[in-house]
Structure 1
Amino acid sequence: MTSLFAQEIRLSKRHEDIVSQRLMLLQQMENKLGDQNKEKTPQMQRAETALQRNLSLLKDIEAAEKSLQTQNHPVPPPEVASLETLYWASVEEYIPKWEQFLLGRAPYPIGVENPNEAEATIQKEVRQ
């Protein structure tokens, strides 16, 4: 019986040691978590600042890109715009003639067969 009583006392002390170690480890974990949270706050602020800076830089780059595009592609002179309009009008005029030919449903369009005649037609439209 005394051996059981001695064993009970030993187990009770062992239990107290384990519980005290557990409490100590829990306290260390809480301290470490608090330290990590303290470290995260400035890190989050730095990340937010970096994000704002990057967005600002991106806007500046886009503005510079637009500026360069307008400098590289100025508005064409009125003569060029007029020629472009005439060109697209001519294309739209000839589309029905060529469409059936290109789909294989009709013979080669008449009036375009002779390249000199086609060139004369284009020259005439440009002068108008």
Structure 2
Amino acid sequence: MSSYVSQELHLARRRKEILSQRSELLQQMETYLGDKKTKKTWQTQAADAAHKRNAALLNDIEAAEKRLQERVCLLPHPDTVKLETLYWASVKESLPKWEEFLLGRAEVPIGYKKMKSTKQNISYSEEESQK
């Protein structure tokens, strides 16, 4: 009979240990779930903040794009258009002179060397007048 009593005591102690471990594990599980819930809440808030920030940036970019397109649609100043027209007319006029040279079939056009030396003379005379 004493062996039954000692077995009963051993089983009672073992049951107490198991219940203690169970209680500890349940508490750890509750802590883990609470931390997980807190982390999920924090991630949700961070995602919402990022979404709002991205939406604001997108709106800013769209507004900037709209302003730039409005600027592009504006007509250039008439003087600018006139100068541009004159420039392209000059290019078209001098193109035949340069075409053979650019293709490697002829020497530099004669007017080019004269213009270069004329520009040097002009710059020298301006320097002398400043002295």
- Normalising by structure 2, what TM-score? 0.55
Q: How does 1:15-34 map to 2 (within 5 A)?
A: 15-34=18-37
**What is the aligned-residue RMSD (CA, Å)?**
3.7
Residue 113 (structure 1) shift:
6.3
Equivalence for 1:82? 85
Number of equivalenced pairs: 110
- Normalising by structure 1, what TM-score? 0.56
Q: 1:14 to 1:86 in 2, by over 3 A?
A: same
Q: Determine the C-alpha separation between the residues in 2 that align with 1:31 and 1:46.
A: 23
Conserved 8 A contact 2:101-2:108: yes
- Secondary structure, counterpart of 1:52 in structure 2: helix
Determine which structure has greater relative contact order: mean sequence separation of CA pairs < 8 Å that are 6+ residues apart, divided by chain length.
Answer: 1
Residue 69 (structure 1) shift:
6.2
- Secondary structure, counterpart of 2:110 in structure 1: coil
- Secondary structure, counterpart of 2:64 in structure 1: helix
Q: Determine the C-alpha separation between the residues in 2 that align with 1:76 and 1:10.
A: 102
Confirm or deny that 1:46 pairs with 2:52: no
Q: Determine the C-alpha separation between the residues in 2 that align with 1:113 and 1:30.
A: 85
Confirm or deny that 1:97 pairs with 2:101: yes
1:16 aligned partner, one-letter code: L
Equivalence for 1:115? 114
Q: Which structure has the highest helix share of the two?
A: 2
Q: 1:95 to 1:18 in 2, by over 3 A?
A: farther
Residue 99 (structure 1) shift:
4.1
Which 5+ residue runs of structure 1 have no aligned equivalent?
101-105, 120-128
1:36 aligned partner, one-letter code: K
